[in-house]
Amino acid sequence: TQLLEQSPQFLSIQEGENLTVYCNSSSVFSSLQWYRQEPGEGPVLLVTVVTGGEVKKLKRLTFQFGDARKDSSLHITAAQPGDTGLYLCAGPPSGTYKYIFGTGTRLKVLA
Amino acid sequence: KAGVTQTPRYLIKTRGQQVTLSCSPISGHRSVSWYQQTPGQGLQFLFEYFSETQRNKGNFPGRFSGRQFSNSRSEMNVSTLELGDSALYLCASSPSLGARETQYFGPGTRLLVL
């Protein structure tokens, strides 16, 4: 079974703190996407990483794809209340037509 | 450009009934995928439609079905509803078949089965 495990499952931090969310698998992925989902809405795509070792920055968010393309991380610098939401990694395992979502990390940033 | 729209946004049904959900993709997008999201199982892929044909299917029973029309709009049907079908049903559109890395999600239809 191809799974994407995210950690931590829940995270509650104060505004201004830094945090890292991890997305791990035993399978190789062709690419990985990160989404943020707010209550009552669908997930919104934040970034796609494709190449092993790739690092992408989106303002205060830094995304990294592992060298072996089996894991990824999302680092948020100086978190703000607007960052609150459910963060999901997802992607297609290499050589398959599937698309798998991670277990999710629910982040709450307190003002 | 308008985003993905789903109707209705909320729905309450009773066990044994059937339900039809609708999804209008972004203009020009030809692929529509459906997902079920529950607190226990997370986001799970139901099926993908492209050019009016189901191209991929997840591990859901035959009670879950769908179709796509020539204008790329899609409907999803669940027959003989069970309590466990209560979930947020999400539709996502992408420009082409299998291009899940560029898919855009609608707001979802929240279904409650009593």
Would you call B105 and A43 a contact, using CB atoms and an 8 Å cutoff?
yes
The alpha carbon of residue A108 and the mean position of all alpha carbons in its chain are separated, in whole angstroms, by: 15
- The DSSP line for A56-94 is EEETTEEEEE-TTSSEEEEEESS--GGG-EEEEEEEPBT
* Alpha carbon distance B82, B112 (integer Å): 10
| Cα→Cα distances A31→A14, A98, B34, B37, Å | 32, 12, 20, 22
A75 vs A95 pLDDT, higher one? A75
Would you call A42 and B106 a contact, using CB atoms and an 8 Å cutoff?
yes
Q: How confident is the model at residue A1 (pLDDT cuts 50, 70, 90)?
A: low
pLDDT at A2: 61
Would you call B101 and A91 a contact, using CB atoms and an 8 Å cutoff?
yes
* Alpha carbon distance A76, A67 (integer Å): 21
pLDDT at A98: 78
Report chain B's terminal Cα–Cα distance, integer Å: 37
| Cα→Cα distances B47→A17, A72, B53, Å | 40, 26, 10
**Residues of chain B neighbouring A35 (CB-CB closer than 8 A):** 105
* Alpha carbon distance B111, B114 (integer Å): 10
pLDDT in tens, B33-68: 999 999 888 899 999 999 999 988 888 999 999 999
Interface contact A93, partner B, CB < 8 A: no
pLDDT in tens, B3-28: 999 999 999 999 999 999 999 999 99
Location of structure tokens 């991670």: A102
Q: How far off is chain B from A40, nearest CA to CA, in Å?
A: 7
Q: How confident is the model at residue A82 (pLDDT cuts 50, 70, 90)?
A: very high
Residue B77 has pLDDT above 60, yes or no: yes
pLDDT at A99: 85
Q: How far off is chain A from B97, nearest CA to CA, in Å?
A: 10
Q: How confident is the model at residue B102 (pLDDT cuts 50, 70, 90)?
A: confident
